[in-house]
A and B are shown apart, each in its own frame.
Chain A
Amino acid sequence: MTRLLLHRLGGLLTTLFLSSVVIFGSLYLAPGSPENVIFGSRTPSAAARAAVRHRLHLDQPLPVRYWDWLTGVLHGDLGTSMVTGQPVADRVGSGLGTTLLLVLMTMVLVVLIGLAMGLTAALLPGRVDGAVNAATSVSVTVPSFVASALLISLFAVKLGWFPASGLGQGFGGKVDGLVLPAVALAILSCGFLARVTRNAVRDQLEREHVQTALVRGLPRRTVLRSHVLRNALPPIVTAVGLLTAGTFASTLVVESAFAVPGIGQLTIQSVAQKDFPVVQAVALLLVAAFVVCNAASDLIQAVVDPRLREAGSTS
Chain B
Amino acid sequence: MNRTKKLWQRANTTLGRSGMLAGGFLLVVLLAAVLAPLVAPADPNQSSLLDSYAGPSGAHLLGADGIGRDLLSRLIFGARTSLLGPALVVGVSLLLGIPLALLASWYGGWVDGVIARVFDLVYALPGLLLAVLTVALFGPGLTPAVVALSIAYIPFLARIVRAAARQQRVSPYVDALAVQGFGVLRITVRHILRNIVPVVVGQAAIAFGYALLDLASLSYLGLAVQAPTPDWGVMVSDSDALLKGYWLQVLAPGVLIVLTVLALTVVGARISGEKPPGYLRRRRPAGAALKDRAENDRTPVGAAA
Residues of A near any B CB (own CB < 8 A): 15, 18-19, 23, 26-27, 29-31, 122-125, 127, 129-131, 133-134, 137-138, 140-146, 149-150, 152-153, 157-158, 164, 205-206, 210-211, 214, 220, 223-224, 228, 245-246, 248-250, 252-253, 256-257, 267-268, 270-272, 274, 276, 279, 283, 286-287, 290-291, 294
Contacts and interface: CB of A to CB of B under 8 A. Distances in A.
Given A131-B279, A252-B129, A271-B132, 8 more contacts: A18-B121, A31-B138, A123-B301, A129-B278, A143-B213, A210-B301, A220-B300, A228-B301
B221 interface: yes
Contacts of A153: 242, 245, 247, 250-251
B23 to A, nearest CB: 16
Contact of A146 (B135, B257, B300): B257
B128 interface: yes
24 contacts: A15-B124, A19-B125, A30-B138, A124-B302, A130-B279, A131-B279, A138-B262, A141-B261, A141-B265, A144-B217, A146-B258, A150-B251, A157-B242, A220-B300, A223-B301, A246-B126, A253-B220, A253-B221, A271-B223, A272-B222, A283-B132, A283-B133, A290-B124, A290-B126
B125 A287 contact: yes
A129 B279 contact: yes
A43 B244 CA distance: 43
B286 interface: no
Interface in B73-99: none
A288 to B, nearest CB: 10
A286 B265 contact: no
A146 B254 contact: yes
Contacts of B300: 214, 220
A271 B126 contact: no
B221 A287 contact: no
Most buried by A among B221, B243, B261, B265: B221
A274 B279 contact: no
Contacts of B289: none
B133 A26 contact: yes
Top 6 A-B pairs ranked by shortest CB distance? A130-B279, A146-B254, A249-B126, A141-B261, A30-B137, A271-B136
B143 interface: no
B135 A205 contact: no
Contact of A143 (B136, B217, B278, B298): B217
A71 B209 CA distance: 42
Contacts of A253: 128, 217, 220-221
Most buried by A among B132, B135, B251: B132
Interface string B196-225: 000000000000010001001100111100
Contacts of B140: 272
A249 B245 CA distance: 29
A149 B245 CA distance: 11
A123 B301 CA distance: 7
A264 B137 CA distance: 18
Contacts of B120: 15
Contact of B298 (A130, A137, A211, A248): A211
B251 A15 contact: no
B129 A287 contact: yes
Contact of A252 (B124, B221, B299): B221
Nearest to B265: A141
Interface string B237-265: 10000111101001100110110011001
Contacts of A283: 129, 132-133
B236 A149 contact: yes
A235 to B, nearest CB: 17
B279 A134 contact: yes
A174 B77 CA distance: 40
Contacts of B294: none
A205 B129 contact: no
Contacts of A137: 262, 265-266, 277
B250 A252 contact: no
Contacts of A149: 236, 242, 250-251, 254
A172 to B, nearest CB: 24
B178 to A, nearest CB: 31
Contacts of B121: 15, 18-19
B57 to A, nearest CB: 22
Contacts of B128: 249-250, 252-253
Contact of B124 (A210, A228, A270, A291): A291
